[in-house]
Homo-oligomer: A and B are copies of this chain.
Amino acid sequence: MAHPVSPLAPKTFPELPAIAGVRFATAEAGIKYKNRTDVLLMAFDPGTVVAGVFTRSKCPSAAVDWCRAVLPTGTARGLLVNSGNANAFTGSKGRDSVEKTARYAAEALGCQPNEIYLASTGVIGEPLDATKFEGVLGETASRMADGPFIDAARAIMTTDTYPKLAGATVEIDGTLITINGIAKGSGMIAPDMATMLSFVVSDMPISAAALQALLSREVRTSFNAITVDSDTSTSDTLIAFATGKAGIAPIESDADPRADIFAAALGDVLFDLAMLVTRDGEGATKFVAVHVEGATDDQSAQRIALSIANSPLVKTAIAGEDANWGRVVMAVGKAGEPADRDRLAIRFGDLLVAKDGERAAVYDEAATSVYMKGQDLEITVELGLGTGKFTAYTCDLTHGYIDINGNYRS
């Protein structure tokens, strides 16, 4: 079932450069979809380190369990991702499937199974037949190349209406470091973790521990700042791989002054990917940044921003191009965080709509209505309590979301 491409889709896709030590190919394993790629096999040169962040679901998928179990080694030689079946809630069959799949991938890449990272996305609860991989991985491995990354992004799509990829380069010690990322996800998107799947590769020399520290730090204002529908996937996975092929001294800890430079570039890639996921929110017609300022602290601001971004009433109002700031107040109030109704100020774009707990004297219904017709909107809530702030990103809630999710399995 194909859905129309999101009106918020990017007009162009970047051509990401090759990264030394990274090769990949995609294949059609026929797991669920017909006539499209559904498998991504990626190989890393020896010495590649890995870091990951996974769903906080108490019912994680078999692949998430696998990745968590092998992650402590800190090293990776391969990544295998499939779309069409999440291999989640598949009991002992799921565990068997994951073990077999890792073995097939390891055979294809010439490494150990515990050097393989796995991710699956698609329908939950259907057993994933690992033999589907057995037939294709050897041939797929024989076709691996250093690009194009857009093919990798396409192979991991489910209800996504466009492939998601982003990259950054940064000069460290006079050497250009490259970071490429791909992501998929457009529903079941909520904080902790927000994307269903995202993979980042870099040639940066860095220890696994430092990479993990930076990844965990940068996820807060990127993938953990977005929400489509408040639902949290059983499969949410973000993995970063660093081949270390760039010829500079490695970052051994996040205390290294170069760590912040690398982290900023990594954060840019994660942010760009997270925005691409939000803009492909199921049924989305508008993209919304929700800024909360003046909270008692950043964490409180984050909770309030996400309460607004998750509110069905706020999101349907936005879909209806209705500057219903009363619902924003409602969402502030339900967050349970410190808020003083009579100090609240709310802006839609630059237009002040509420101040000191009531409609602003300068409120201009006509101007606000015109603003709401835009495709990229900003809502700012000033709490007037402290210096805490956070920005959450979401999309509107439309008939398209109902269409897509009321009929997903058929």
Q: Taking beta carbons and an 8 Å cutoff, which residues of A are in contact with B?
A: 55-60, 86, 88-94, 123-127, 187-188, 190, 229-234, 310-313, 316-317, 319-320, 322, 324-327, 329-339, 341-342, 344, 354, 356-359, 397-399, 401-402, 405-410
Identity of the chain B residue whose Cβ is nearest the Cβ of A358 in the assembled complex: B91
Q: Which of A59, A324, A339, A358 has the most CB of B within 10 A?
A: A59
Q: Which of A89, A230, A397, A408 has the most CB of B within 10 A?
A: A89
Partner of A358 from B60, B127, B402 at Cβ < 8 Å: B127
| A327 CB contact (under 8 Å) in B124, B326, B342 | B124
For the complex formed, measure the closest distance between the CB of A299 and the CB atoms of chain B, giving whole angstroms.
16
Could you tell me the distance in whole angstroms from the C-beta of A19 to the nearest C-beta in chain B? 34
Judge whether A406 and B316 touch: CB under 8 Å: yes
Complex Cα distance, B398 from A90, in Å, reads: 29
CA distance A230 to B59 in the complex (A): 22
Contact B188 A313 (CB under 8 A): yes
Query: Who on chain B is nearest to A355 by CB?
Result: B91
Find chain B residues with CB under 8 A from A90 CB. Answer: 357-359
CA distance A55 to B332 in the complex (A): 13
Interface contact B316-A125, CB-CB below 8 Å:
no
Task: From known contacts A59-B341, A333-B57, A358-B94, infer whether A231 and B322 are also in contact, taking CB-CB under 8 Å.
Answer: no
Contact A57 B313 (CB under 8 A): no
Contact B326 A88 (CB under 8 A): yes
Task: Establish whether residues B234 and A329, one from each chain, have CB atoms under 8 Å apart when the complex forms.
Answer: yes
Please name all residues of chain B whose beta carbon is closer than 8 Å to the beta carbon of A123 when the two chains form the complex.
Answer: 326
Measured between C-beta atoms, what is the minimum distance from A194 to chain B in Å? Answer: 12
A230, B230: Cβ atoms under 8 Å?
Answer: yes
**CA of A269 to CA of B325 in the docked complex: distance in angstroms?**
35
Instruction: Report chain B residues within 8 Å CB of A126.
Output: 326, 359
Q: Are A59 and B339 in contact (CB-based, < 8 A)?
A: yes
* Bound complex: CA A86 to CA B401 (Å): 29
Q: Indicate which residue in B232, B324, B325, B405 contacts A320 across the interface (CB closer than 8 Å).
A: B405
- Asked if A358 contacts B406 (CB within 8 A), the reply is no
What are 12 A-B residue pairs whose CB atoms fall within 8 Å in the complex?
A55-B333, A91-B356, A92-B357, A93-B358, A187-B313, A231-B327, A312-B312, A316-B406, A317-B405, A320-B410, A324-B408, A399-B399
